[in-house]
Amino acid sequence: MTPTPSDLHSRRQFLRASTAAVTTTALAATVAPAKPPSRGKVRTVLGPVDASELGVTLMHEHAPAIDWAELYEIDPAPIAPVRQQMIDFTTKLLDRFHQTLGTGQGPGAIVECTPIRVGRYPHLLVDLAKKTPVHVIACTGFWCEAMAPQHPWALALGRKRDGVKRIAKLYIREITEGMEDPYGDWGKDFTRVPVGIIKCATSTYLRPSERRCHIAAAIASRETGCPITTHTTDGGGLEEAQLFLKHRTDPAKIIIGHQGNLDNRTESESHEYHRRLVGMGCNVQFDRVGHAKDYGNKKIARQVKALVDSGHVKQVYFSHDNGPYFNDDYTGAKGTGKEWKITESDYTVVTTGLVKAMKELGITDKQIHTMLVENPQRVLAF
C-alpha cells in the first residue's frame, strides 16, 4: 500500500518512503532468505555459524558507519556515493585485525553495535562481511539520550500504553526474522539479515525512555535467549544490571559495557564496582581499548588482573568501540556523501598492545584465550 502524507511523519519521510519501495525490492533480491537458525549458533549477518568458528571476538565495534542525524530528526547522510569506499576501507581495517591472530584465534569476529537508525545498514553489513574473513554480528536496540536525543521512533513507540511490549516486539522480530530496512518509513520494511545481540544504552542515569528500552530488551532476551550488551556513560551499569535482573534476565546474558574509566562515576579504576557486577553474575566489558589516555592499556590490564585474580576470568570481554565513518553534520544531509568524516579506527590494539600489557602483569595465555575466544563463543550462542 502506498502511504499518504498524512500517514507519515513528514513530507520528507513520504518522499523517502516512496523511493524506498523500489530500493528495498531491488536489494531483497540480492540477499537469500535467512535459514531459521538452529539452537546454540551465533547469528552473523551472513547466517548462523558454529560458535567455535569465531576465534577472537571484538565485542563492541562500529563498522563501517555511525550517523546520528535521525536522532535530530534530519535526513541521514547518503550511503550510495561512498558505499564502495566504505566497504573497501573497512575491509582493510578488519583484515588488519585478522592478520594479528595466531593459531586457534581465527578468523576473528566483531559485534557491530550500531543500533537501529543510527547508521545501521543491513545490506551494507552483508556486503562488508562477504569481503573480509572476519565474522560480523549485528545488533537490535535503540540508542539512549546520552549524547544526542533518543530516536523519535523509540519515543513514539514507548509513549503508547503498551509501549514496552511494542519495543520488545520490534526487537524480537529483528532477532527472529531480520533487521528493519532503514531506507523506508519506520518499521515499514524488514530485511532477512539477522541480528545476534541486543544493544541497550543509558545516559548518566536511566531516563524513562531508556528504562523502557531496557525492559523491552529483558523481555526479548528472555523470549529468544539473545544476549544483551550495554553502553554506559561514566557509570550506570549497576542500575542497568539491577533493572535487567528485576525483569528476570539471565545474568550470564548481560554484558555491561564501556568499562575502563570512571565506571562508578568517581574512581578511575573502580575495582569494587566491577566485582559487584560480576558478583551479580553479569559480565563486564572493556571496550574502549585504544581510546585516549583514560583507557590506557596498562590501566585496563590492572583492572582485568583484579577480576582474573578474584576468579572471574569467564566474565570479561574486550573491544575498541571504533567506527571509521561518522556523520555529525546535523544541519541536514546535502546528498553528496561529503558529510562523512573518516575517523581513526584501529581494530588491532586489543590483540597487540592490550595482550602485551596483560602478559606483563602475569595474566596467562590460557586466561587471555578464555577472555578473547571462549567467553564470546559462550555468550553469543543461542
Query: Applying CB under 5 A, which residues contact Zn ion?
Result: 113, 321
Which of the 8 DSSP states describes residue 107?
S
For Zn ion, which is the closer residue by CB, 308 or 349?
Answer: 349
Q: Which residue is nearest to Zn ion (CB)?
A: 321
Residue partners of 151: CB distance under 8 A and separation at least 6: 70, 71, 116, 117, 118, 142, 143
Distance separating alpha carbons of residues 209 and 159, to the nearest angstrom: 8
Smallest separation (angstroms) from Zn ion to the CB of 66 = 8
Minimum distance from CB of 317 to Zn ion (Å)?
A: 13
Q: Which is nearer to Zn ion, 8 or 154 (by Cβ)?
A: 154
The residue among 58, 51, 55 whose CA lies nearest residue 103 is 55
- Nearest residue (CB) to Zn ion, 185 versus 240: 240
33, with CB counted inside 10 A (0-12, 13-18, 19+), is exposed
Q: Which is nearer to Zn ion, 13 or 345 (CB)?
A: 345
Q: CA-CA distance, 256 to 277, in Å (whole number)?
A: 8
Q: How far is the CB of 59 from Zn ion (least distance, A)?
A: 10
Q: How far is the CB of 27 from Zn ion (least distance, A)?
A: 26
Q: Which is nearer to Zn ion, 37 or 376 (CB)?
A: 376
Helix (H) or strand (E) holding 245: helix 237-246
Q: Which amino acid is at 289?
A: V
Q: How far is the CB of 19 from Zn ion (least distance, A)?
A: 30
CA distance 224 to 36: 13
